[in-house]
Structure 1
Amino acid sequence: MAEPVTPPAAPDKPPGRRLPWPGGLSARLLLLTALFVFLAGACILPPALADLEKQWLLDRVRAAELASTIAAADPERRVTDQVSQRLLDQAGVVIVALQVDGARRLVLPTEPRSIEQPYLVDLRRQNSGSWLAAPFFTLKSKPGSLVRVMAEPRFRQEAEFVEIVLPDAPLKAYLISNFWRLAGVTLFAAGLAGGLIYLSLNFLLVRPMQRITKAMERFRADPEDPEARVVVSRRRDEIGRAEAELDAMQTDLRTALQAKARLAALGEAVAKINHDLRNMLTSAQMASDRLAALGDPKVAQALPRLERALDRAITLASDVMAYGKSKEPAPVSRTVALRAALEMAAEDSGLSPKGVALETVIDPRELVIADPDQLHRILTNLLRNAREAIEGAPDRGGKGRVFVELRRVDGMSHLRLSDDGPGVPERARANLFQPFVGSVRRGGTGLGLAIARELAQGHGGDLALVETGPGGSVFDLTLAGVPDPAPAEETEAAKSKP
């Protein structure tokens, strides 16, 4: 049987062409600055041309109005056609007329002429739109066109308005010549302003950002490179704050990377001794099994505690290497009786009624959702730290208490542990949960609280120092979930088990 042939896949459609766009911030800034300044200059040209046209037409109106006063000065109207034409030529118009008492009267020439229909420009009632559009209408008019202009009188006060008709060719030539002059001046001013703006922004923003970006790139390539450190200027603006924050971030990252390197070295060391350590613990576990066979009541009483310690030591020896390499194993969560877990952790932490005692009002039926072994490690760490702090106080005589209470808030279980010890020293508070730097006591590694917090975060919660002082410390352990209390029968059955 012939195998089915799969048709070849259609070739991907080539991407459409995109407009070229410079990649550098400096080039983009130059392009945008030039574009915006050019647009600003282009916005200046229309009102400038409109004002030039209006002024040019008003000059023609005033010249024609003065010419009309000469014609009006002859009461017998003996102005010849030759004189009339000379007056019109000097004013640059074809017709001059006045509106007097509601009647339009032709002043120059003295006899009506047949002319082509002109287009109207009424300088008396121009709004902003018609004022801006007037020069472009003039430039687009056909060659040889005439323009009819109406304006308020200045010299002929008896008239309601002055009206002139003139060819628009001189106006077109005037507008075109001034357009190129204005365009040249505008481009020069725009180029000068754009260049100054570009240089200023490049000096104030682009070059500092390039320097910061270069430092970040070099730091990413080699955090140990001394040249990768950003040079902090004395600027007090956002650039200065960015430089200061980047410098602080680089310092913190170098410190963190050094700590990670130490953790990696620790992981390698643990990996080398892990096999031998597990063999030793296995031998100790076999010895404990032999002790169990002796039948000594005292040995039988202490043996469960020894077995639990050996089991957890073997598990810890297998898991501690993961901390130096990456992270803790994922918790295998289930419901755990909190009161029983607290009492077991207190026993393994060395708490006793005659020394540092555990006090709690937690109902034995209360449950939490957690990995039993990891919860035991968290509680043991916290309780042991509290006991060591209290016993280390010279005026306490090894006596104290650790009070534990449970609260349920917003779907989370909050386990609050309060002791009456001397509190966490000021120097240790900032790095309390940092490995190797958060130890409170001399000789400590600082791993205890770091591991406890990582385990709590793996359960969807957290571990935090709520308050501390001469009166003691308060830690808040948060675990996700609010399970219902266990039935009383199950609690009694659990207590009755050997």
Structure 2
Amino acid sequence: MVIDANLEFLSEHVTDAGRSHLETVSTWVSDMTSLIETVSSLTDAITSPGHSERARQTVDLSTVLEARVHKIAESHGRATVETDIPDGLRVTGDELVGQVVDNVVLNALEHNDTDRPWVRVTARATADAVVVRVADDGPGIPEKFRGEVFSPGITADESGTIGFGLYFVKVMMEEYGGHVRFETNDPRGTVAVLTFERPVGGDADGPEHGERRDVRKGE
């Protein structure tokens, strides 16, 4: 908070020549803050007393996906982000589902080697699950790294992916009774596949057809 406040003050006094340096510091602070929040969330989730019996609840995944993806798209003006998400998709999860989505979509955007990254987020319901697919046109993940990217120690230099963020995704998806994996996107890139459990009972009923689309074109 102190750093952010001082950066805001400096933004009114820095010269054009120094603005890029100020923006670099701001970006790093934002990344550090995000990492701290992720570590804190993961620690709370898996080390708190009774975490193995962590309360699950019904989550409106359609609303979470649309809100999170839209927010990320707004902060990546050069990217094209497409969504194909039916209304009313409900899954088993908790308040951290949004952070799971953030990590996967940000991973697809921030480790893309093109000038104008492209990401497409789709979701579909099956009889007992909701499958979310996040496709990108980045460099892809070498097959030998696909199992390792979910480990906490893997960094971008080794595999081209965010290590801890994806570890967080893996742990939380398992907490929800689901799972995550990567597939190759054709002709280029990667598809992250998140499989969520659907709630048991009345809340499990949701649309399997019908969709809403939100497309943001890179500028």
Matches within 5 A, 1:241-320: 316=38, 318-320=40-42
SS class of match (2:85): coil
CA contact (8 A) 1:422 1:469 kept: no
Matches within 5 A, 1:51-62: none
| Residue identity in the other structure for 2:93 | A
Change (3 A) 1:405 1:321: closer
User: Are 1:416 and 2:137 an aligned pair?
Assistant: no
| Residue identity in the other structure for 1:384 | L
Change (3 A) 1:364 1:352: farther
Q: Provide the rounded CA distance (Å) in 2 between the counterparts of 1:324 and 1:409.
A: 29
Q: Provide the rounded CA distance (Å) in 2 between the counterparts of 1:348 and 1:321.
A: 25
> What is residue 28 of structure 2 aligned with on the other side?
none
Change (3 A) 1:433 1:312: closer
User: Are 1:446 and 2:163 an aligned pair?
Assistant: yes
Matches within 5 A, 1:99-178: none
Q: Provide the rounded CA distance (Å) in 1 between the counterparts of 2:83 and 2:171.
A: 25
> What is residue 389 of structure 1 aligned with on the other side?
111
User: Are 1:342 and 2:65 an aligned pair?
Assistant: yes
Q: Provide the rounded CA distance (Å) in 2 between the counterparts of 1:405 and 1:284.
A: 37
Match of residue 364, structure 1, among 87, 110, 116: 87
Q: Provide the rounded CA distance (Å) in 1 between the counterparts of 2:82 and 2:63.
A: 13
> What is residue 205 of structure 2 aligned with on the other side?
484
TM-superposed deviation, 1:365: 3.1
Structure number with the higher helix fraction is 1
Structure number with the higher strand fraction is 2
CA contact (8 A) 1:413 1:480 kept: yes
TM-score w.r.t. length of structure 2: 0.62
SS class of match (1:432): coil
> What is residue 400 of structure 1 aligned with on the other side?
117
> What is residue 112 of structure 1 aligned with on the other side?
none
Change (3 A) 1:342 1:441: farther
| Residue identity in the other structure for 1:425 | P
CA contact (8 A) 2:156 2:162 kept: no
Q: Provide the rounded CA distance (Å) in 2 between the counterparts of 1:323 and 1:364.
A: 28
TM-superposed deviation, 1:327: 10
> What is residue 377 of structure 1 aligned with on the other side?
99
TM-superposed deviation, 1:409: 2.7
CA contact (8 A) 1:352 1:358 kept: no
Change (3 A) 1:406 1:340: same
Q: Provide the rounded CA distance (Å) in 1 between the counterparts of 2:99 and 2:180.
A: 13
> What is residue 433 of structure 1 aligned with on the other side?
150
Q: Which of 1 and 2 has higher RCO (CA within 8 Å, sep 6+)?
A: 2
Over residues 390-432 of structure 1, what are the superposed CA-to-partner deviations in whole Å (9 max), with x where a residue is unaligned?
Answer: 2xx1xx21x1322122222341111122112221134522412
Over residues 310-338 of structure 1, what are the superposed CA-to-partner deviations in whole Å (9 max), with x where a residue is unaligned?
Answer: x9888656444457969994654333332
Over residues 326-365 of structure 1, what are the superposed CA-to-partner deviations in whole Å (9 max), with x where a residue is unaligned?
Answer: 9994654333332331233225545557422321221233
> What is the total number of aligned residue pairs between the two structures?
175
SS class of match (1:450): helix
Q: Provide the rounded CA distance (Å) in 1 between the counterparts of 2:153 and 2:82.
A: 31
> What is residue 13 of structure 2 aligned with on the other side?
none
SS class of match (1:361): strand
SS class of match (1:359): strand
Unaligned runs of 5+ in 2: 6-32, 208-219
> What is residue 333 of structure 1 aligned with on the other side?
56
SS class of match (2:87): coil
Matches within 5 A, 1:437-476: 437=154, 439-441=155-157, 446-468=163-185, 471-476=188-193
CA contact (8 A) 2:180 2:192 kept: yes
Change (3 A) 1:479 1:363: same
| Residue identity in the other structure for 1:451 | F
Q: Provide the rounded CA distance (Å) in 2 between the counterparts of 1:431 and 1:356.
A: 27
Change (3 A) 1:440 1:344: same
Q: Provide the rounded CA distance (Å) in 2 between the counterparts of 1:461 and 1:406.
A: 15
> What is residue 21 of structure 2 aligned with on the other side?
none
Which structure's CA Rg is the greater one? 1
Change (3 A) 1:441 1:357: farther
| Residue identity in the other structure for 2:108 | A
Q: Provide the rounded CA distance (Å) in 1 between the counterparts of 2:162 and 2:82.
A: 28
CA contact (8 A) 1:463 1:477 kept: yes
CA contact (8 A) 1:322 1:328 kept: no
Change (3 A) 1:360 1:479: same
| Residue identity in the other structure for 2:205 | D
CA contact (8 A) 1:423 1:471 kept: yes
Q: Provide the rounded CA distance (Å) in 2 between the counterparts of 1:358 and 1:426.
A: 25
